Chain A
C-alpha cells in the first residue's frame, strides 16, 4: 500500500510517502513556516523524492486535530480535497495519538497541545503488544488541574507527558516530579508514523463531511449556548442558494 501522510496541526510540518511499510520520503520543518504556503510544494517534493506521482498513491493519511485551528484546517482541507478529487482512500488520525507514537512503549503516554491559560488538549494512550496505540482516555480539552486529578489514579513514574511547552512542564513537574516530560522540540510529529497508524485505522466513509477534530466550540458558539440558546434541528445553518 502506498500512503501519502501529512500533519500541520501545530508549528511543525511533516510530510511522508510510505510504501509497503517503508518511508520513501520524509519532509519536515520545525521552524515557524507558513503551512498554507509550504504544504503543497512539500507534498510535491515528497512524491518526487519517492519517485511517485499522485496516481500511484492509494491512501491519504492526515492528522485531523486537535491542534491549531488554522493548522488542522489546512491539512484536512488538502487531504479531503485530494481524496475526493482523485478518488483516493482517506484516513484521519488524532494529532495527539500521532504525538503519542513518539513515546516510550512502556509508559502511560499523555500527549498534550498547549491551549493557553493552563489548559490543554490531552489524551491518554498505551502501547499494546503489537506496538499499536490504544486509547485509555479519549482526547479532550481540559484544564491542567483537572487533567492532574484524572491522572492521580496512575503510578506517577509510569507517566510520560509528550509535547510540553515550558509552562506546561512547570505545572507537570510540580504535580508529578517523577513523571517523564518530553518537550515540544524533542517530540516532533512524524508523518511516517502517521502513515503506519493509518494502515490500521478505519477509512473515512463520507469525505464531504470529514472535518477537523477541534474538541472546542468557537467562543461565539460557546457564548451563544451559554445564553440558553438551543440549536434548531430544523434550521440548516449553511444552505445552497
Chain B
C-alpha cells in the first residue's frame, strides 16, 4: 500500500473563500466554504473590491477549520494547491498569497491549479474517470465543452462567444425581479411554466461547438419591455420556462454534437449551473433517447459551485506528475486551457 497523499487546497477566484484537505485526490477530509452571496446581494451582483476584502477576513479562519475538521496538522500535509485563474484578480490573489505563505512556512511543494480544471475534476469524488471523457462546464463565468484525453490534458472544443450561461440567468433574473444568483429560482419557475415564447436558439444550426447567449438575453428583455409598454401581463413562470428551454436546447445541441465527433464513455458536467435540475433531467433524457452507452456524471450539489475540494482533486494529478509552482506565482485572471 502506497503512502497517502494529503493536499491542502485553496480556492478564492470569485465570491467564495474555500480551503479543503483532500486525500489522494479522491477523498474529502474537509471542504470549508465561506460564501459572500449575502454581501453581494446588496449590490445585485459580485463587486470585486468587496469580494477581495471578504477573502482577507476569512482566509486564516478557513485554514484552521479545514485542519480541524480533517483532524490533521501541517506535518501531515504533502502539498499546498491553489487556484491561480481564471477569476477576479483581487480575489485570486488572496488565495494565492495565503497558499504560497503556507507552502513557504512549512516547506511544502506548491501546485497552481486552473479553476476550470478543478470544476471538471469535481467528478473525481463521484466516479472513476475513464479517459478520454467529455465535459460540459457551465457557470456564471464560463460555458465550455472540453475533451479530456488523459489526466490533466484538456482540449477546449467550444466556448461562449459572449455571455456565460450563468451570467445570462442572472441578467434575465434581474428582469424577473430575482436577486443574484438567479439560477436556482429561474430553474424552479421554469419547472412550473411552459415554453411559449419561442426565444431564439442562437448558433444551433452552425457547425461548430461554440455558444452564444446574448441574443437570447436580449430577446427576453425586449419581450418583457414590450409587454410593459402595452401593459400586457406576462406569465413569469412561462418566461422562465421559455428562457430555460432555449438554454437547454443550446447546451444539449452543442454537447451532443461534440459527443458525435468524439464518442466517449463519460460525460462530466461541472460548474454552478450543473446544479440546474432542468439541465440534469434534459441531458439524461437525451442520452436515453439516443441509446448511448455513456455515464452521465454531475457533482453533488455542494461541489457544483466554487470549492477548494475540486482544486485538491486536480492538484493530485499535478502532484503525481511533479508539476510544481514557485513562490513567485501570480494570478492569471484570464487563464484558459490553451495557454497552459
Contact = CB atoms under 8 A, between A and B. Distances in A.
A82 B53 contact: no
Nearest to A76: B56
B205 to A, nearest CB: 41
Contacts of B262: none
Given A238-B36, A238-B38, 4 more contacts: A81-B102, A82-B105, A208-B64, A220-B49
> Nearest 8 A-B pairs (CB), nearest first?
A237-B39, A81-B101, A40-B327, A220-B47, A77-B97, A84-B60, A218-B49, A208-B61
Interface string B40-69: 001100010110111011111101110000
Interface in A29-48: 34, 36-41, 43-44
B56 A238 contact: no
Contacts of A212: 56
A219 interface: yes
A74 interface: yes
A241 B35 contact: yes
A211 B57 contact: yes
Contacts of B39: 237-238
B32 interface: yes
Interface in A8-60: 34, 36-41, 43-44, 54
B98 interface: yes
A77 B90 CA distance: 12
Interface residues of B, number: 45
Decide if the interface of chain A is mainly helix, strand, loop or mixed: helix
11 contacts: A36-B96, A37-B330, A40-B104, A40-B328, A41-B328, A69-B52, A81-B59, A84-B60, A209-B57, A237-B54, A238-B35
Interface string A105-139: 00000000000000000000000000000000000
A73 interface: yes
Interface residues of A, number: 42
Contact of B97 (A44, A74, A241): A74
Contacts of A240: 32-35, 65
Contacts of A80: 56, 59-60
Contacts of B100: 40, 78
Of B33, B52, B106, most A-chain CB atoms within 10 Å: B52
Contacts of A219: 49
A86 interface: yes
Contacts of A78: 97-98, 100-101
B38 A236 contact: yes
Of B38, B98, B104, B326, most A-chain CB atoms within 10 Å: B104
Contacts of A85: 60, 63, 74, 101-102, 105-106
Contacts of B98: 77-78, 81
B7 interface: no
Interface in B80-130: 90, 93-94, 96-98, 100-102, 104-106
Nearest to B62: A240
A35 B105 CA distance: 18
A212 B331 CA distance: 20
Given A73-B93, A85-B105, A237 B49 contact: no
A226 interface: no
A76 B53 CA distance: 11
Contacts of B326: 41
Nearest to A53: B107
B93 A239 contact: no
Contacts of B90: 69-70, 73
A46 B327 CA distance: 14
B34 A44 contact: no
Nearest to A214: B53
Contacts of B38: 235-239
Contacts of A40: 97, 100-101, 104, 327-328
A36 B49 contact: no
